[in-house]
Amino acid sequence: MSVIIAAVGGQGALLAARVLARYALLKGNAVKVSEVHGMSQRGGSVVTHVRFGDVVHSPVIEHGTADALVGFELLEAARHAPSVRSGGLLIANTHRILPLPVLTGSVKYPNNLEATLSALPLQCLFLDAHRHAEALGQIRTVNTLLLGVLARHISTELELWAEALRQSVSSDTIRINLTAFNSGWSLFDTSNIIEHNISREKAQP
């Protein structure tokens, strides 16, 4: 299984990757993680590759071969969508974090990104993870909430994920992180992907 987590610095992508890797280890898989921090402290892109299975030779996911992409921000999801294989899963937070060139007015934030992504041969799920995290009272749990969405679509082992979280976060934050993870887990079921694909196919000429 090859998963890319793409985010903006400060969104907690590295913690999400750590939990995913811990889950894979608890399953008895071999795991390799590759992190590209970039200018994360300045709000730049943060991309993490997580690969796990019986045997994993390289930590880097080749272009167009990822099984799943979790975009913590919509533009980051669009930027890395070409890395996902045909039929792969794309989970995108629709919340926008404007990069510096957009803030300075030198470029415009792209329009219709959801429609553009939906036209790709991918299984797409969109949600405003920030809104859901705010409803839980802790905006910083966007990462574990999105991880819960991913987990629901690649496994059925909820308790194993909970244990991975317990081993990855501090004792004073485990409760809210588990709540956020469970919220993401329950937001979608696998029928949502099927319905999305059917509606997209019907819309095509």
- How is residue 46 written in tokens? 């943060």
pLDDT tens sequence across 42-99 = 557 889 999 999 999 999 999 999 999 999 999 999 999 999 999 999 999 998 877 6
How many residues are there in the chain? Answer: 205
Predicted pLDDT of residue 42: 52
| CA 33 – CA 1 distance, rounded (Å) | 12
Asked if residue 108 lies in contact with residue 178, where contact means CB atoms within 8 angstroms, the answer is no
Question: What CATH homologous superfamily does 2-203 map to?
Answer: Pyruvate-ferredoxin oxidoreductase, PFOR, domain III (3.40.920.10)
Predicted pLDDT of residue 111: 85
Could you state, in order of their start, the residue ranges of all structural domains in the chain? 2-203
Q: How far is CA 71 from CA 124, 162, 166, in A?
A: 11, 22, 23
Residue 166 has pLDDT above 70, yes or no: yes
Q: Scanning the structure block, which residue is given the tokens 């996902």?
A: 84
Asked if residue 185 lies in contact with residue 160, where contact means CB atoms within 8 angstroms, the answer is no
The H or E element that residue 84 is part of is strand 84-93
> What's 29's DSSP letter?
-
Task: Work out the pLDDT band at 205, boundaries 50, 70, 90.
Answer: very low
| CA 80 – CA 60 distance, rounded (Å) | 14
Identity of residue 114: E
Residue 200 has phi, psi (to 5 degrees) of -70, -40
What dihedral do alpha carbons 68, 70, 74, 76 form, nearest 10°? -90
- How is residue 100 written in tokens? 């510096």
Asked if residue 90 lies in contact with residue 71, where contact means CB atoms within 8 angstroms, the answer is yes
Identity of residue 176: I
Return the percentage of the chain with pLDDT > 70, whole number.
Answer: 85
Sheet with 66-71, edge to edge strand ranges: 30-36, 45-53, 2-8, 66-71, 84-93, 123-127
Task: Work out the pLDDT band at 190, boundaries 50, 70, 90.
Answer: very low
User: Average pLDDT for residues 147-154, to the nearest whole number?
Assistant: 95
- How is residue 101 written in tokens? 């060139």
Predicted pLDDT of residue 108: 81
Predicted pLDDT of residue 94: 93
